[in-house]
Amino acid sequence: SERSEDNLRSPICCIMGHVDTGKTKLLDCIRGTNVQEGEAGGITQQIGATYFPAENIRERTRELKADAKLRVPGLLVIDTPGHESFTNLRSRGSGLCDIAILVVDIMHGLEPQTIESLNLLKMRNTEFIVALNKVDRLYGWKTCKNAPIVKAMKMQSKDVQMEFQSRLTQIITEFKEQGLNSELYYKNKEMGETYSIVPTSAISGEGIPDMLLLLVQWTQKTMVEKLMFTNEIQCTVLEVKVIEGLGTTIDVVLVNGVLHEGDQIVVCGMQGPIVTTIRALLTPHPMKELRIKGSYVHHKELKAAQGVKITAQGLEHAIAGTGLYVVGPDDDVEDIKEATMQD
């Protein structure tokens, strides 16, 4: 697998924002799942990962009739918690991604964890788009299920359009106070300097096609170099989980490279480096959440980017948030063990 413009890995997109702005619900809307309603207290407490194949994105953006020629195999979306106590997980999520969606509740504007997320993204120079979510809560909103936002907006009464405009203006001002220029995405002539805002509803799906198209077009346009596939493994452990029938497993995000069944790996453990062999490489089905127990697809090998469940012996004391390394034919295990423990 060569490093070229024709061999791109899937971009990784992290979804961030204040608690209950609708991050998980937006993903549910795209997946056709119901993850959010199954969460304890409706609160996300773990990092999630969902793979969206290119054909699903193409399907969802068809009505926009844009040049949705996708050169990436798909999109890996990382869900993060918005609750204030999970700063570490937001930081981990934002550290993995190529691009982010910052979700803002149109009824609330910028909130403390919106600003915290914003600062994490600024710190790492990560590009992002803003999903201005819950537009269906504007008083008198007429549902236009899964419609592109311009089409949905035209269907609204003058009153709804005015309320939208005044809330939008207020939120643009709040971004300005954080030192950022922002604008509705279809009016934005300076992408890269001015952040794009996509109005969305996670309940009725308005604006979802726009959000997906913008993500894919933007990454393909500006990040080809970064997305060129490399054989060098870049992989982070998200969770260490005991699964009935599988024993202790680790959920990882494979950012770059290829993993194989049988690969010798090294992960950071509480009592020192763990050297083991990949017994099974599992993923949820496409458009399904990695953190939700379900049926898994077995793979002989997996190419980045993917959310992967790995089964192997001796993972009991593995530490989430650290790197996973593969011992190649020319590598010295001792060197890798040392590198691992520096995480």
* Chain positions contacting ligand GTP, by CB under 6 A: 17, 19-25, 36, 42-44, 81-83, 133-134, 136-137, 201-203
217: Cα within 13 Å, side-chain hemisphere: 17
CA atoms of 121 and 128, how far apart (whole Å): 8
Q: How far is the CB of 125 from Mg ion (least distance, A)?
A: 25
44 binding Mg ion? (CB under 5 A): yes
CA distance 148 to 283: 31
Q: Which is nearer to ligand GTP, 49 or 282 (CB)?
A: 49
Residue 23 lies near Mg ion (rule: CB under 5 A)? yes
Residue with tokens 């697998």: 1
**Measured between alpha carbons, how far is residue 184 from residues 61, 200, 208 in Å?**
18, 12, 14
Q: Which residues bind Na ion (CB under 5 A)?
A: 20, 42-43
Choose the contact partner of 176 out of ligand GTP, Mg ion, Na ion, none; CB within 5 to 8 A by kind. Answer: none
The two structure tokens encoding residue 317:
């004391």
CB of 38 to ligand GTP, least distance (A): 11
The binder of 22, among ligand GTP, Na ion, Mg ion, none, by C-beta within 5 to 8 A per type, is ligand GTP
Smaller CB distance to ligand GTP: residue 43 or 292?
A: 43
Are the C-beta atoms of residues 315 and 249 closer than 8 Å to each other?
Answer: yes
Those residues whose C-beta lies under 8 Å from the C-beta of residue 91, and which sit 6 or more positions away, are: 120
Min separation Cβ 145 and Na ion, Å:
23
Which helix H or strand E contains 322, and what residues bound it? none
Can you tell me the distance from the alpha carbon of 53 to that of 10, in angstroms, rounded to the nearest whole number? Answer: 9
83, two tokens: 């609750």
Minimum CB separation of residue 233 from Na ion in Å reads: 33
Q: 188 contacts which partner out of ligand GTP, Na ion, Mg ion, none, CB within 5 to 8 A by kind? A: none
Decide whether 25 or 309 has the Cβ nearer to Na ion: 25
Positions touching Mg ion (CB under 5 A) are 23-24, 44
